[in-house]
Copies of this chain bind each other. A is one copy, B any other.
């Protein structure tokens, strides 16, 4: 298989875009990526588009990819719609990597786009319901995260203050990100005193619905040099797994752990080599859980890590320098490719005020959906300068 690099990335600002639908959001992300890649559009021979909510929340009833890319001016080539809940963007990227790595095509474009901010917010919330028995009783993701966090509190003595510190860090980072939905740094007091959504989670700890699009164009190292003078970013691994059942008698390996172990092995690196991580903190405090699941810190060390600022932009490993989902907003299928965009900018040294010093290896963790008793999907991507 050939080595694949990211040639260009692009995204829209995440947030409420009352004047833009899926086509407009997708087009903006696509053309930002095309411009960043400095590639003639005719050299893009295949496109994957991830979308999760369009059928339920917009007028488009299928082949949303084709509606979006034809609006952006792309027609005729193979166009494939993928969905994997919040992991959709990474899933589209994984497919593009395979197209190029295999030699099937020299270039491929992955797009993730979502329109969630509609007049009736309850419809958007319902569209994210699980499709499980639990979902019927109103048990949604925020409740699931809350239960996991309560477990952490009991097991490792983590406190609400630890959780709030994650949000302090991420909103500080997000304030420096022009693509973020929320750009106001928050204090411990504001976070802890905001309305409880599902104890221990308060409003400012939770990510929000957002409209947005993100895109990435991949190619081979040789071709990259032909198009762009920017540093090509090597995709060292992009591993996708689905959930596994739990049983009372067996140790359940978290989906993030399984995916990241595969990715570390494929990339030939370990967690200690990672300089910057964009992780799927749909509820910001879940970052602490993810530190462990990705092997960044040892068991029970997450609280100390956030206390000691190890995941700050200038820390041991910067986590969510973009501000994470709680600052950026979370337009389901666009999130994974926004994470990729951020890591590419960080590794190129283009992240401006939120630049992680000397970042050479970056990682994204992008999990989504819920089936039986685990996430439906998790994708881990490791990128190298």
Contact = CB atoms under 8 A, between A and B. Distances in A.
A130 B61 contact: yes
Contacts of A188: none
Contact of A98 (B70, B85, B99, B240): B99
B241 A1 contact: no
A81 B83 contact: yes
A75 interface: yes
A371 B131 CA distance: 29
Copies in the complex: 2
Interface stretch (A100-108, A274-282, A304-312): A100-108
A59 B136 CA distance: 9
Contacts of A61: 56, 126-131, 135
Nearest to A129: B61
Given A1-B102, A128-B61, A371-B66, A75 B245 contact: yes
A62 B131 contact: yes
Contact of A66 (B63, B258, B376): B376
A249 to B, nearest CB: 17
Given A83-B81, A98-B102, A243 B66 contact: yes
A165 to B, nearest CB: 32
A82 B79 contact: no
A244 interface: yes
A135 to B, nearest CB: 8
Interface in A240-272: 240-245, 258
A104 B371 contact: no
A129 B52 CA distance: 18
Contacts of A85: 62-63
Interface residues of A, number: 58
Interface string A40-79: 0000000000001001101111111011011000011111
Contacts of A136: 59
B81 A372 contact: no
A369 to B, nearest CB: 4
A266 to B, nearest CB: 11
Contact of A377 (B66, B127, B241): B66
A260 to B, nearest CB: 15
Contact of A244 (B76, B241, B368, B372): B76
A258 B77 CA distance: 10
Contacts of A83: 62-63, 81-83
Contacts of A372: 70, 75
A243 B126 CA distance: 33
Contact of A79 (B75, B101, B131, B377): B377
Nearest to A126: B61
A67 B371 contact: yes
What 8 A-B pairs are tightest by C-beta distance, nearest first? A102-B102, A63-B369, A63-B376, A60-B131, A66-B376, A81-B83, A78-B240, A66-B371
8 contacts: A66-B371, A70-B371, A75-B372, A76-B243, A78-B241, A79-B84, A98-B104, A102-B103
Given A63-B131, A63-B368, A76-B241, 12 more contacts: A61-B128, A61-B135, A66-B371, A67-B376, A70-B245, A70-B371, A75-B243, A79-B84, A79-B242, A80-B84, A80-B91, A98-B102
